[in-house]
Amino acid sequence: MLDDIIYYFTPRVFCALTFLVNPFFVYLIFTEKAAKFGNYRFILLFFATYNLTFSVFNIVFPMDIHTYRYCFYLMIKDGWFVESTELNFHLLVARCSIVFASNAILLTHFVYRYLVIHESNFTKKYFGWYIAASFLIFGLFFGVWYAICYHLARVNIEIRQYIREDFRETYGTDSKNYNMIGVLFQEGSEETTFRSWIVIILWTSLSVASLISFIILATLIMCKLKKTAMHVSQATSKFQFELLRALIVQTIVPICISYSPCLLCWYSPMFGVQLPREVNYFEVSALGIFSFVDPLAIIFCLPPLRKRILHFWKNMKNSANIIAPTLPISNPTNS
């Protein structure tokens, strides 16, 4: 019953919320004055499109994460692509890679904000080239993660044998029946453990490098905004700071809500710590949250969008009060 909720109902609920929030988010952005957001609207559209795509992936490829002693692995749990075939393994790798590729979208947001405050032509006259470069960066992030997972993180026969008994107890079937990506830090052959440590070092390095690039760009943008604050109008300076704040929140939300819990399964097996299934369930569920939480965070971080939401809500309440019939108040009678 719990498995049905986690792997069937939860992704569909998150997907429904994502398809409610993101189109509304795009509507708010594109119905706002064009001069206020400029071409940044299209970067936000890219972000919303990614959220919708990711939520569909979450349904079509329901992924499970599990740890056992010094090993962790992930696989497609249910659906059309469970069978252990080469095509389905490619799809599993793509499912994992699209998660990391979200860093590319965040990077293009930070770079765009940096270019805007430096009045670069790539945000105006040559914006088409910037969009093309954004897609290229997204493909690069996706491709690098894909290559690591496909060539180094593929679970071999040794790891399948290592987890076989626990896998049967957990899932009621044999580990050879599933495509899996995973690592084994100890209690394996030298080749397997060496490859596993290489995988985790590469994954960690790429993730840390992305985070550091966000921090550096945010710091540079903040310094530049403080320097130019005296040369531009107060309203313009304030809005630029608000956009940066929204971007920082947009970055923090997936890191804290979705990615951080999954780091537990990366590092806990290094110390032989086997996480309980409840934690695995939480990790799987957390991956689907940011695709609808992030747009909400941006909406409420940007005053123009927040005011429109509050104004709409106020009008709805007023309309409800007007339409609601006045019920007669009857006097109590003595019995």
Q: What is the pLDDT of residues 133-181, one digit of tens each?
A: 999 999 999 999 999 999 999 999 999 999 999 999 988 888 888 899 9
Determine, yes or no, domain membership for 265: yes
The predicted pLDDT at position 19 comes to: 94
DSSP per-residue letters across 81-123? T-B--HHHHHHHHHHHHHHHTHHHHHHHHHHHHHHHHTT-GGG
**Cα–Cα distance, 85 to 95 (Å, whole number):** 15
Entry pTM: 0.86
- H helix or E strand, kind and range, residue 245: helix 234-253
Determine, yes or no, domain membership for 275: yes
pLDDT in tens, 246-285: 888 888 888 887 777 778 888 889 888 888 888 877 777 7
Comparison of pLDDT for 322 and 33, the residue scoring more: 33
Determine, yes or no, domain membership for 290: yes
Query: For residue 267, how far is the Cα from the chain centroid?
Result: 20
Query: Using an 8 Å Cβ cutoff, are 114 and 220 in contact?
Result: yes
Determine, yes or no, domain membership for 143: yes
The predicted pLDDT at position 183 comes to: 93
Please name the residues in contact with 145: beta carbons below 8 A apart, sequence gap of 6 or more. 96, 97, 100, 101, 206
Determine the structural domain holding residue 29 and report its residue range.
1-306
Q: What are phi and psi of 161, to 5 degrees?
A: -70, -35
Residue type, position 195, single letter: R
CATH number, residue 37: 1.20.1070.10
Determine, yes or no, domain membership for 24: yes
Measure the CA angle with vertex 288, ends 282 and 294; round to 5°.
120
Query: Using an 8 Å Cβ cutoff, are 185 and 270 in contact?
Result: yes
- H helix or E strand, kind and range, residue 304: helix 303-323
Determine, yes or no, domain membership for 124: yes
Determine, yes or no, domain membership for 193: yes
What's the 3-state SS for 24-63?
A: HHHHHHHHCCHHHHCCHHHHHHHHHHHHHHHHHHHHHCCE
Domain count, the chain: 1
Answer yes or no: is pLDDT of 56 > 60.
yes
Determine, yes or no, domain membership for 315: no
Comparison of pLDDT for 94 and 329, the residue scoring more: 94
Lowest mean pLDDT among 57-66, 169-178, 193-202, 253-262: 253-262
